[in-house]
Amino acid sequence: MSIGWGFPLNNRSPNCRSRLKLPKRMDTGPLQVLTVATAPYPDQRPGTSGLRKRVCVFQTKPYYLHNFIQSIFSSIDLRDRQGSTMVLGGDGRFFNKTATEVIVQMAAANGVGRVIIGHHGILSTPALSCVIRKYKAIGGIILTASHNPGGLDGYFGIKFNVANGGPAKEAITNKIFQISRNIEEFAICPGLRVDLTTVGKQAFDLENKFKPFKVEIVDSVESYANLLRNIFDFALLKELLFEENQIKIRVDAMHGVAGPYVKRILCEELGCPASSVINCTPLEDFGGQPPNPTYAANLLEDMRGGQWDFGAAFDGDGDRNMILGRNGFFVSPSDSVAVIADNIFCIPYFQQTGVRGFARSMPTSAALDRVAKATKIELYETPTGWKFFGNLMDAGCLSLCGEESFGTGSDHVREKDGLWAVLAWLSILAARRQSVEDILKNHWLKYGRNYYTRYDYENVDIDTACEMMEDLEILITDKSFVRQRFAVEDKIFQVEKADNFEYTDPVDSTISRNQGLRIIFSDGSRIIYRLSGTSSEGATVRIYIDSYEQHNVFQDTQVMLSPLATIAVKISQLHHRTKRTGPSVIT
């Protein structure tokens, strides 16, 4: 059955849901599948982590959600889609429930045989990856805008993960975008209603379908928790956290999806007092604060009080993490993955599997490289985006990886995993019986230190940002730029190499171009410029600065990197072009 818009295309009503004129359904008959006419939108290109827009875009633009979901389904070959299993879940932000209902209705109409959904529609990103792999699903849809604010005036996002549990590769996201630009109709079963409140199986008869469409509501935590039980020594961790001489930890779930996982695993299984964890109830607006670890001000204040030995915070969908030591000692994400690499056999999983390789995104500091060199383990440098790590993992080349944007993980799933990183650090603390600060300082004494910072310039005019990047690329790729010298204070930096980073995947030889502008100096210091692929509004210009010191390892990061920061701003003319006096955020 087909159904049209029901109103002129040039006068689209914001209440598109009420405009979808549905035929009356007989309670005893099969559910009808409708084909609904629509018109494309030009702005549905997925970024590094899917499609992210303000909630009002999904609410006021007719069928904006439907178009993108249909584009995902249409990107999958009908033979693969027919009767298949898909996984669905989200971080609990505003609009998740509405989107979940629509996606289930469209999955049924598009031939999917079964949809597995987290209880109440909740699944963390790493847990969804785990469930995809456990049930051998063809993929999954994650409803999250990660660290961006939630609520009615906040952001909403959709990300498609493929059968390996990881983010879709560029070829797939490009295909989804092309379909979205030409879409004319979508399929939906609007009479289908799913109960998300009860764990169990539900079945629905659809017209022209020989088999019932099935929905399975699963415990959001259990499959993932069972995976972690087989990776870490829970008995040892319980001794660290619960027995005599226990350490005191403080964990902030920031009212994101990680809350139920933190309570189940850290409190119920490992014995942490309930007072150790805060903000563990997922809220649609995350309590009015961005679910971003870098904004965990209350946690930082608590840690500075000196009563807690270890602190951690997560983002909205539970894949990012921030690690703190006593008195608020900050562990940068680049250092975090390097420390885990150096202590990797404190984790029983790696005692069993061995270590196949390490990897980091190109903008991440080279701290991990030094561990890889010392341990003679292969090191891969990839573009930003977890999908590049997944390909290496599937080929058996990679065990541990990380990104500077608070992402850490291993080959147990195909997503970065915040709680996994916390348990990895707790495993190191249990084995070494040192403080977080002592472990990191000893690491610097052993390997030297990569001083590292990132400047974010948020909500920059897109045209201004793109023009700046284009001009900057012309400047640095000119042959005359190499060997130029820049003097700041008593420091002199000579350019050794400058390019637009290009990655050739060692597994399938896929080439990814335009992955960030790099200036590499003769002493190994680096300045990197990128436009963010995860920004939900405007453009975010990012400058990354990385500089290695072998012996002078206990200085202030911003003081040490000030000369390079001055050079980075001068070369790009960023402040002049954007009319800014400084970055929005420094990490």
Domain for residue 59, yes or no? Answer: yes
State the residue for tokens 């990104």. Answer: 403
Residues 549 and 520 in one domain: yes
Residues 34 and 58 in one domain: yes
Residues 306 and 434 in one domain: yes
Which of the residues in the chain have pLDDT under 50?
1-19, 21-27
| Cβ proximity of 428 and 438 under 8 Å | no
Termini Cα distance of the chain: 54
Q: What is the 3-state secondary structure (H, E, C) of 365-385?
A: CCHHHHHHHHHCCCEEEECCC
pTM for the predicted model, two decimal places = 0.93
Residues 59 and 207 in one domain: yes
Q: Give the whole-angstrom CA distance, residue 512 versus residue 522.
A: 26
Residues 207 and 239 in one domain: no
What is the CATH classification number for the domain harbouring 477?
3.30.310.50
Q: Which residue segment(s) compose the domain that 436 sits in? A: 224-447
Q: Give the whole-angstrom CA distance, residue 87 versus residue 98.
A: 16
Domain for residue 130, yes or no? Answer: no
Domain for residue 128, yes or no? Answer: no
Q: Give the whole-angstrom CA distance, residue 126 versus residue 420.
A: 9
DSSP string of 262-321, one letter each residue: HIIIIIIIT---GGGEE--S--TTGGGS---GGG-HHHHHHHHTT--SEEEEE-TTS-BE
* Domain end residue (candidates: 394, 419, 447): 447
Give how far Cα 340 sits from Cα of 123, 236, 426, Å.
26, 17, 10
Asked about 146 being catalytic, the answer comes back as: yes
* Domain end residue (candidates: 420, 447, 474): 447
State the residue for tokens 């490009």. Answer: 174
What is the CATH classification number for the domain harbouring 269?
3.40.120.10
| Cβ proximity of 490 and 484 under 8 Å | no
Q: How many helices (H) and strands (E) does the chain have?
A: 20, 28
At residue 385, the pLDDT reads 92
* Domain end residue (candidates: 212, 233, 250): 212
State the residue for tokens 């009319």. Answer: 579
Domain for residue 126, yes or no? Answer: no
Give how far Cα 472 sits from Cα of 207, 235, 517, 538, Å.
58, 54, 8, 19
Domain count, the chain: 3
Domain for residue 243, yes or no? Answer: yes
At residue 41, the pLDDT reads 99
49, 71, 146, 365: which is the annotated catalytic residue? 146
CB atoms near residue 182 (< 10 Å): 8
Residues 253 and 205 in one domain: no
| Cβ proximity of 324 and 303 under 8 Å | yes
φ, ψ for residue 545, nearest 5 deg: -130, 130
Q: Give the whole-angstrom CA distance, residue 405 versus residue 364.
A: 8
At residue 312, the pLDDT reads 99
Q: Which long-range contacts (CB under 8 A, 24 or more apart) does 42-48 make?
A: 42/181, 44/68, 44/71, 44/176, 44/177, 44/180, 44/181, 45/173, 45/177, 46/159, 46/160, 46/168, 46/173, 46/176, 46/177, 47/532, 47/533, 47/534, 47/535, 48/384, 48/385, 48/532, 48/533, 48/534
Residues 433 and 286 in one domain: yes
Residues 480 and 544 in one domain: yes
Residues 245 and 293 in one domain: yes
Residues 237 and 179 in one domain: no
pLDDT in tens, 271-308: 999 999 999 999 999 999 999 998 899 999 999 999 99
| Cβ proximity of 554 and 401 under 8 Å | no
Residues 339 and 406 in one domain: yes
Residues 414 and 509 in one domain: no
Domain for residue 241, yes or no? Answer: yes
Domain for residue 132, yes or no? Answer: no
Joined tokens for residue 33: 């599948």
Domain for residue 43, yes or no? Answer: yes
Q: Which residues pair with 585 in a beta bridge?
A: 456
At residue 113, the pLDDT reads 97
